[in-house]
Amino acid sequence: MSTSMIPQVEELILTSYESMYRLAYSYVRKEEDAMDIVQESAYKAIKNASTLRNPKHLKTWLWRIVINTSIDFIRNRQEELSGDLPIEPATEDQYPDFDTIEALNILNEQERAVIILRFFEDKKIRDVANIMGQSPNTIKSTLYRSLKKLKIKLSEGELLYEG
C-alpha cells in the first residue's frame, strides 16, 4: 500500500470511528481512555499505511491496530497502577450488564477479543478469523471455549442470588 492510499485509510477511520470506539471501550470501560485509544490507533494507521501489503485487508488491519493498542494501553496502565482499575459509574441512559462485563475479565486477551468482535461488534466468524490472523476453526474453538467459561462464571452468580 503506497502513501496514495492514505485517503482510503482516513476514510475508513472516519466511517469506522464508532465501531473502533466500541471495541476500545469494551477493553478499557472508560470513555476517555477509549477515545485516546481510537486516536492513537488512527495515528498508527495513517503513519503506517505504507506497510499494508494488500489493500483488501485494510479493515482487518485497522481492527488489529485497535485491539493491539487497547491491549498495550491496559498493560501500560497495569504497570503504572498498583491494584485494580476502578469501574466507572454508569452515566444516564447507560445500563451495562456488570455481571457480563466482569465475567469478561476471566478470559485471556485472545478469548476476550473473539467474544467482543463476534458479539459486541457482530462480526462473522470468518471476519473475526481474518482480524485475528487465525483460521475460522481456531476462532470457533476459542469462541466455544470462551462461552463455556463465561457460562460457568455467570452461573456462579446466579447460585449466589438463589441462596
Grid cell at residue 69:
493498542
For residue 21, which amino acid is it? Y
Q: What percent of the chain has pLDDT over 70?
A: 79
| CA-closest candidate to residue 34, choices 78, 85, 73 | 73
C-alpha cell at 101: 462485563
CB atoms within 10 A of CB 154: 14
From first CA to last CA, the distance across the chain in angstroms is: 59
**pTM, two decimal places:** 0.67
Encode pLDDT of 101-147 as tens digits.
677 778 888 888 888 888 877 889 998 898 888 999 999 999 999 99
Nearest CA to 134 among 44, 67, 51?
Answer: 67
Which residues fall within 8 angstroms of residue 59, CB to CB, at 6 or more apart?
A: 12, 16
pLDDT of 94 > 60? The answer is no
Sign of CA dihedral 74, 79, 84, 90: negative
Domains annotated for the chain, with CATH where assigned, are: 1-90 (1.10.1740.10), 97-163 (1.10.10.10)
Residue 154: pLDDT over 80 = no
Q: How far apart are CA 11 and CA 31, in angstroms?
A: 23
Residue that the C-alpha cell 473473539 belongs to: 114
pLDDT the model gives residue 85 = 45
